[in-house]
Structure 1
Amino acid sequence: MPIQHPSFGTLADDRVIIFDTTLRDGEQSPGFSMNLEEKLRMAEALAELGADVLEAGFPIASPGDFDSVRSIADRFSKDGPVICGLARSAPQDILRAAEAVKSAARPRIHTFLSTSPLHMRVKLRMSPDEVLQAVADSVALARNHVADVEWSAEDGSRTDPDFLCRCVEAAIKAGATTINVPDTVGYALPEDLARIFTMLRERVPGADGVVFSTHNHNDLGLAVANTLAAIRAGARQVECTINGIGERAGNASLEEVAMALRTRQDTVGMRSGVVTPNILRTSRLLATITGFDVQPNKAIVGRNAFAHESGIHQDGMLKDRGTYEIMTPESVGWTNSSLVMGKHSGRAAFRDKLKALGYEVGDNQLNDAFRRFKDIADRKKVVYDEDIVALVDDEILRTHDRIKLTGLTVASGLHTRPMATLKLEIDGEEQEGMAVGDGAVDATFNALRAAFPHEAGLRLYAVQSVTGGTDAQARVTVRLEEGGKLVDGQGSDTDTIIASARAYVHALNKLLVKRERTAPADYAPATQASGAHSSAA
């Protein structure tokens, strides 16, 4: 019988709800912090991708998280995704989440509590009866504010089956409309998830009237396999992230789950609303915002995902692509690089190209990007789509940065100590720095430290080519560490030194976002004594 859901109405038997937690669980990954403008841009991209629910953040964690959730809630109409805020079982958590999502056209509160013996004894220091009461109270309070309430059993995969059934029953009786059973620590095997969801659907009163959800971490590399097992056992919501980012080894990857459902519909028999041709550009947008590229062999979105080097494979591909490809590159957004853009291309053609690549830009952003495009076109023989993506990401996604690189001169040569002089615009004020170093890059980074003093240490410096050829753009990744917090920055340019400076400045801006975030609310209520951030839900 189809489920009646307050946010989705009658849910078709073959429909899987995509619950994206890139902006919450994903952003908790070390170095993955986003500022408000980046979160809003990512939220819009996720909506265009077809995500049904956006877990926009953890409102109680900090004023910044609250503002992000509230701003995203303001962004979408009833045609957009459900906007969800995470909350522990403490009343102040739930009230804060309710305040953050109240302006959403389709709001949801997602509250959670640990249920495994280890978590209850060590983390919560609560008895099973106290946990059961807290489950009922927290869900009931959330239902007083929104019609759509999700409840999660943190560490559900390691919870006693009988007790898990009692907790789920309590949550349903209190008004939960979605029940999530997370594999919080990535411990479960696919058969474990199948057993858990089958058990809950068969044993818990009222189970046929709620949506069951699965949230799997990738500590054993089984997050997607566990997700598919849960779906086949009756879960109708999957919690996932773009590029699989998240706590520790990450979450189930949205793109992998979506393409598994599409490619193996013959076996799984379920479908999602993901607009799969948008997958690649959404993945690239996240990589640009966070400064973390996916590994080359990453399924679906890695640059080698549709590459064939073996002679046997190449021969098969020439005869029939189906010999070695189970999906087409175009189905997830890959296209062959276009060579039509060059120094003679006009503004209208450039705007059309941006639109084809998935960018909708305002006039000011277009002007800035077009100037940089002309500069690159003057230096390169041909301009590939990848070049345009790199430069536009640099220009458009950095418009709200507090620190901007406005000038750089480097003198270097054989038997000469390299020297760099640069200019920064910091909160609208110009600062200059000059320094020497062991090489051109070292001198540039020293000059940055002179212009913007900081104690962060350089932990990674990596260079890769955006395209081929000696005139190719370099994409540089810089990782900084300050006080145990990691941030990654990226920059691109045909000049590797300029690309390096852009990457370092990007990392500094992300470091400022980290600094601005205040500590979470300092309390440990009787209903749940736990840390502010959790990978449970």
Structure 2
Amino acid sequence: MGSDQPRGPRRISVFDTTLRDGEQAPGNAMSARQKLEIALALEALGVDVIEAGFPSSSADDFQALRLISDALTTARVSSLTRACRDDIQAAVDAAGVERHHIQVMVTGSDIHLRHKRGITREEGLREAVEALRFARSLGLDDMSLAIEDASRGADDLLRPLIEAGLAEGAGTVVLADTTGHMVPAEFGSLVARVRSWIPDRVTLSVHCHHDMGLSLANALAGIEAGADEVQTTLAGIGERAGNTPLEELAAVLAYKGDRFGATTSIDTTRLYEAFGLLCRTIGLVPPRNKAIFGDNAFATQAGIHQAGILRNPVTYEYVEPERFGRTRSLLVGRHSGRAVIRHLLGELGVPFGDALVESVYQEHVADRSDGTCLSADDLKRLLQELPGLRADAALSQTGA
């Protein structure tokens, strides 16, 4: 009988690498204390795993891993290491072995083996095995085989590497589209093949880059193909064009989770607060047109849109601002119509007729040819300050 029961959506683990991949991009440097503050914000909104850094790369990363490891109570801390003893030892020295997820980065393509590493496939396989074996000998039992450039790796390179990694105790396989070169159909096919090679108990994680603007699309294709975890960053920051944006993944699965049979534990109402902290920390300026976090994501100045929104926001809002800690913004500019003026006058309790609306429109809206906008609140204040507004309004209303 149990097999006839409907299955609920799979819970997709969110692995956040804002503090490692995001931080290592130019202009994004953070101190250990700043990383701790952001890590606590990420934990508070429901991230499952927080990658604190690359502890062998700097004293700051080592200290950040130690601070974050000590502070987290619900999320697991993660560190990145190369497939070598010194890196793994440094990670353990910083964070111990309890509730510590270690990502052992291995080489997944002939391109990287030849041009980056200068080693053979056999040598790459051997160092992966030895690294995981050493990590296990230190008491680590939460290990990823993190395959760099997996999306350009041949199956006859990837499969032996994965099988050897699982034999040495890796419980997660990470497929990285390191250069962001795949389209969703290609990446989904790769994930499906790897899923067929590994047991269900093994977590399959995806790490997608945004070089062609496809990091989220590829991550979603990965989920459809059987991935259990997505590696993300706040606002998609990261190397070159960045990574899968945490907030966009959360939005898609909040609204379209049934389509993917998947959900997350992310509290979407806290995302914008965490983004604000990130912006203050690294001096990030929010782009106007970015989904969820952009200044214009929930703003409009188009009169046709505003007229619909004022009647019912559902006319032009599918993504709801309050669900993401945002507020709706009606901006008044040269593309705005008269509906917003009528609305604001009504909010002020001012009786008005067409003459007053037209006067305000011509004087304060129609001629904004420089592209500047007023907020609805700015225009409301301006209306309140107009001399004789109520008397003029009353005359307009009576037609005098």
Instruction: Sort the TM-score into its range (normalised by shorter chain).
Output: 0.7 to 0.9
1:84 has 2:78 as partner: yes
Match of 1:335 among 327, 332, 350: 327
| Paired residue secondary structure (1:298) | coil
**Residue 198 of structure 1 corresponds to which residue in structure 2?**
192
- Aligned length, in residue pairs: 327
Distance 1:168 1:277, change over 3 A: same
Question: Is residue 126 of structure 2 the alignment partner of residue 130 of structure 1?
Answer: no
Q: Counterpart in 2 of 1:517?
A: none
From the CA coordinates, give the structure whose radius of gyration is larger: 2
Secondary structure of the equivalent of 1:267? helix
Offset of residue 141 of structure 1: 1.8
- Name the residue aligned to 1:15: 11
Q: Give the superposition deviation at 1:466.
A: 11
Q: Which of 66, 84, 88 is equivalent to 1:70?
A: 66
- 2:154 corresponds to which residue? 160
Contact 2:9–2:258, Cα closer than 8 Å, also in 1: no
Structure-to-structure mapping, 1:364-379, within 5 angstroms: none
2:217 equivalent to 1:217: no
- 1:283 matches 2:269: no
Superposed displacement of residue 323, structure 1: 2.2
TM-score, normalization by structure 2: 0.78
Paired residue type of 1:68: A
| Conserved 8 A contact 2:83-2:128 | yes
Whole-angstrom CA distance in 2 between matches of 1:300 and 1:228: 17
Report the Cα distance in structure 2 between the residues aligned to 1:229 and 1:294, rounded to whole angstroms: 27
Question: Aligned match of 1:260 in 252, 272, 286?
Answer: 252
Gaps in structure 2 of 5+ consecutive residues: 1-7, 330-373, 379-400
1:215-253, Cα deviation, whole Å (9 max, x unpaired) = 011010000100100011011110010011001111110
Q: Give the Cα–Cα distance (whole angstroms) in 2 for the partners of residues 197 and 207 of structure 1.
A: 13
Q: Distance in 2 between matches of 1:468 and 1:314?
A: 15
- How far did residue 267 of structure 1 move? 0.9
Contact 2:88 2:135 in 1 (8 A): yes
* 1:412-427 to 2 correspondences below 5 Å: none
Task: Choose 284-293 or 319-328, whichever is displaced more.
Answer: 319-328
| Aligned amino acid, residue 119 of structure 1 | H
Q: Supply the distance in 2 between the matched residues of 1:41 and 1:211 (Cα, whole angstroms).
A: 28
**Amino acid in structure 2 at the alignment position of 1:90:** C
TM-score, reference length from structure 1: 0.59
The one-letter code matched in structure 2 to 1:290 is: I
Q: Once the two structures are aligned, what percentage of the paired residues are identical?
A: 39
* Alignment correspondent of 2:291: 299
**C-alpha separation between the residues in 2 aligned to 1:115 and 1:234?**
20
Q: Distance in 1 between matches of 2:151 and 2:59?
A: 32
Residue among 115, 131, 134 paired with 1:141: 134
Partners of 1:319 and 1:269 lie apart in 2 by: 34
Aligned to 2:390: none
Q: Which residue of 2 aligns with 1:113?
A: 106
Q: 1:250 to 1:311 in 2, by over 3 A?
A: same
- Asked whether 1:187 is paired with 2:181, we answer yes
The more displaced of 304-313 and 226-235 is 304-313
CA distance change for structure 1 residues 196 and 17 in 2, over 3 Å: closer, same or farther? Answer: same
Describe the superposition over 1:67-105 as per-residue Cα deviations: whole angstroms up to 9, x where unpaired.
11011111123xx100011100011111111221217x5
If each structure's strand is expressed as a fraction of its own residues, which one has the higher value?
1
Instruction: Tell me the residue number matched to 1:272.
Output: 264
Residue equivalent to 1:428: none
Amino acid paired to 2:11: R
Deviation at 1:319, TM superposition (A): 3.0
Matches within 5 A, 1:499-510: none
CA distance in 1: counterparts of 2:21 and 2:240, whole angstroms: 10
Aligned match of 1:48: 44
Paired position in structure 2 for 1:318: 310
- Whole-angstrom distance in 2 between the partners of 1:140 and 1:320: 60
Q: What amino acid sits opposite 1:70 in the alignment?
A: R
Query: For 1:31-87, what per-residue CA distance to the aligned partner results, in whole angstroms no more than 9, with x for missing partners?
Result: 11111221111111011111100000100001111011011111123xx10001110
Partner SS, residue 55 of structure 1: strand
Structure with the bigger percentage of helix: 2
Q: CA deviation at 1:201?
A: 1.6
What secondary structure, in the 3-state scheme, does the structure 1 residue paired with 2:34 have? helix
User: Cα deviation per residue 1:271-318 (whole Å; 9 max; x = unaligned)?
Assistant: 001010001111111001000122011100111101122222222222
> How has the CA–CA distance of structure 1 residues 266 and 324 changed in structure 2, closer, same or farther, with 3 Å as cutoff?
farther
Contact 1:263 1:326 in 2 (8 A): no
Task: Give, in angstroms, the shift of residue 151 of structure 1.
Answer: 1.2
Runs of 4+ more than 4 Å apart: 465-469
Local SS of the residue matching 1:28: coil
Which residue is equivalent to 2:365?
Answer: none
In the alignment, the residues of structure 2 paired with residue 100 and residue 466 of structure 1 have an alpha-carbon distance, to the nearest angstrom, of 49
Which structure 1 segments of 5+ residues have no match?
1-11, 338-464, 470-537
Letter in 2 for 1:30: P
Q: 3-state SS of the aligned residue for 2:300?
A: coil
SS in 1 for 2:204: strand
